[in-house]
Amino acid sequence: MAGYLRDDLSDDEIDRQAALYGPLAASVRELVDAVIRTEADDEEIRTARAEIEAITERLRKQQADGPFGVRFNGEGRGRAWGNAVVGLRNAVAPPLQMQHEPSGRAWADFHLGAAYEGPPGLVHGGVAALILDQVLGEAAGAGGKPGMTGTLTLRYRRGTPLGDLHVEAHIDRVDGIKTYAVGHISDAEGVTVEADGVFILPKWARKAIADNESAAAPSRFE
Amino acid sequence: MAGYLRDDLSDDEIDRQAALYGPLAASVRELVDAVIRTEADDEEIRTARAEIEAITERLRKQQADGPFGVRFNGEGRGRAWGNAVVGLRNAVAPPLQMQHEPSGRAWADFHLGAAYEGPPGLVHGGVAALILDQVLGEAAGAGGKPGMTGTLTLRYRRGTPLGDLHVEAHIDRVDGIKTYAVGHISDAEGVTVEADGVFILPKWARKAIADNESAAAPSRFE
């Protein structure tokens, strides 16, 4: 699959780019929050819009034709910088800073603000699903059993308040190309949403692994 | 629930605010996309960041204490302007322009760009879940049977390409306070993701309806 691009950047160059783009995206996340909450006067709003459009125009003078994709260097270090949950350069992503264990576990502590609201003051039920899909998939990949989501089931125990949250997932069992993962989101009071999912290794990745094209067979389908 | 705020703005004032804030959030969505895709030089990136931070600081001089919530006027016109899927003021939201039918149907045609990526070139599986949660919930509400998500199940038929997409949902059946809704996302080639969900009227809303506090019992739990 063309989108998994091996570009052989050095680790130092990747660190340098992360230090450049990470703070840029973080500044946009703050702007997203401010646009939801601002009570500035109309003139201020119009001025902000014009300035934002001018910045965007300058950034777009040189830009990639399409989405970021997932890029790897020669050491297999992956960058899913456009990913909607963990993407360093994606202001839609909170972004989650994932932790992994090779036993097939993944977890993160994170914060959700005004941009992730559904019912008043609560995390959008679909945002909880978005995050759990990513983390269950990362647990599968961490255990060496990656796949794309086949099915995903969410059970909402109660509303998840906006604020500081925790998410974790682990591999429950593996059956051939299917990896079964389970997980949940919790706040300080306990579990709010539970999830289980089946993650399936796509045909093209099975072929790449069989052909020993390791660079074409990513450890996670972020 | 305090977050469903009745503020009695006139329809004209709501239209005026929509015309002010809608384009502002739209400009931020373009900026989010540009930040993922830009190949501008380092100096340009640093300048953009400084300018964005200055805009945010000005917008934050007067701002709401917390998230937007869901606000209603005297005519029952609701504004879920902070909602993560449909929010007019939320640059995380694509946003979907929902259509409804009182028979209990909801649908939208929409476009997803680089900010909604999971696997390279494909919609993040969790983003598909996010959108389906919203649209199934809107179908339930459109049919007069609103609820908060109780369970949600997604079946991924194939990868959903980034680009122009369609989503639709309808009420399958109603059992007391539980509304069962089904739906799917499709591209030009057909269905990519199917969903079914149970939406449950919360206790506080049941009480508000019993007490005939119509303003406190929203038609949808956006």
CB-nearest partner of A120 from B1, B38, B154: B1
Question: Residue A76 pLDDT more than 90?
Answer: no
Tell me the CA distances in angstroms from A13 to A81, A87, A88, B87, B112, one per residue in order: 14, 18, 15, 37, 30
pLDDT for B4 equals 77
Q: Cα–Cα–Cα angle for A172, A116, B10, nearest 5°?
A: 150
- Interface check for A103 against chain B (CB to CB < 8 A): the answer is no
Average pLDDT, chain B: 93
* Least-confidence region, from A113-117, B74-78, B132-136, B141-145: B74-78
Chain B residue numbers touching A154 (CB-CB < 8 A): 129, 149, 151-153
Secondary structure of chain A as H, E, C letters? CCCEEECCCCHHHHHHHHHHHHHHHHHHHHHHHHHHHECCCHHHHHHHHHHHHHHHHHHHCCECCCCCCEEECCCCCEECCCECCCCCCCCCCCCCCCEEECCCEEEEEEEECHHHECCCCEECHHHHHHHHHHHHHHHHHHCCCCCEEEEEEEEECCCCECEEEEEEEEEEEEECCEEEEEEEEEECCEEEEEEEEEEECCHHHHHHHHCCCHHHCCCCCC
Convert the pLDDT of each residue in B151-162 to its tens digit: 999 999 999 999
Query: ipTM beyond 0.85?
Result: yes
Chain A residue numbers touching B127 (CB-CB < 8 A): 84, 130
Q: In the predicted model, what is the mean pLDDT of residues A91-117?
A: 98
| Interface list for A 122-151 with B (CB within 8 A) | 122, 124-127, 129-134, 137, 148-151
For residue B127, give the nearest of A162, A65, A222, A27 by alpha carbon.
A222
Question: Residue A47 pLDDT more than 90?
Answer: yes
**Listing from the earlier edge strand, what are the strands of the sheet with B4-6?**
B4-6, B70-72, B78-79
Split at pLDDT 50, 70, 90, the class of B222 is low
Q: What is the torsion angle, in degrees rounded to the nearest 10, for the CA atoms of residue B208, residue B210, residue B215 and residue B216?
A: 10
The verdict on whether omega for the bond into residue B95 sits within 30 degrees of 0, i.e. cis, is yes
pLDDT for A163 equals 98
Q: How far apart are the first and last CA of chain B?
A: 13
pLDDT for A199 equals 97
Token pair, residue A105, equals 């576990």
Question: Residue B179 pLDDT more than 90?
Answer: yes
Nearest CA to CA, how far is B15 from chain A (Å)? 14
Split at pLDDT 50, 70, 90, the class of A220 is low
Higher pLDDT, A7 or A94: A94
Nearest CA to CA, how far is B79 from chain A (Å)? 11
- Interface check for B203 against chain A (CB to CB < 8 A): the answer is no
Residues 6+ apart with CB under 8 A from B218: B4, B70, B72, B78, B146, B205
CA distance A169 to B90: 29
Max CA separation in chain A (angstroms): 62
Higher pLDDT, B25 or B221: B25
Cβ within 8 Å, pair B63-A154: no
A96 and A108 in contact (C-beta within 8 Å)?
yes
Split at pLDDT 50, 70, 90, the class of A67 is very high
- Interface check for A180 against chain B (CB to CB < 8 A): the answer is no
Convert the pLDDT of each residue in A134-168 to its tens digit: 999 999 999 999 899 999 999 999 999 999 999 99
pLDDT for A4 equals 77
CB-nearest partner of A129 from B2, B28, B152: B152
Structure-token match 């406190």, residue found: B216
Question: Residue A1 pLDDT more than 60?
Answer: no
pLDDT for B2 equals 44
Secondary structure of chain B as H, E, C letters? CCCEEECCCCHHHHHHHHHHHHHHHHHHHHHHHHHHHECCCHHHHHHHHHHHHHHHHHHHCCECCCCCCEEECCCCCEECCCECCCCCCCCCCCCCCCEEECCCEEEEEEEECHHHECCCCEECHHHHHHHHHHHHHHHHHHCCCCCEEEEEEEEECCCCECEEEEEEEEEEEEECCEEEEEEEEEECCEEEEEEEEEEECCHHHHHHHHCCCHHHCCCCCC
Bridge partner residues of A161 (DSSP): A122
pTM: 0.94
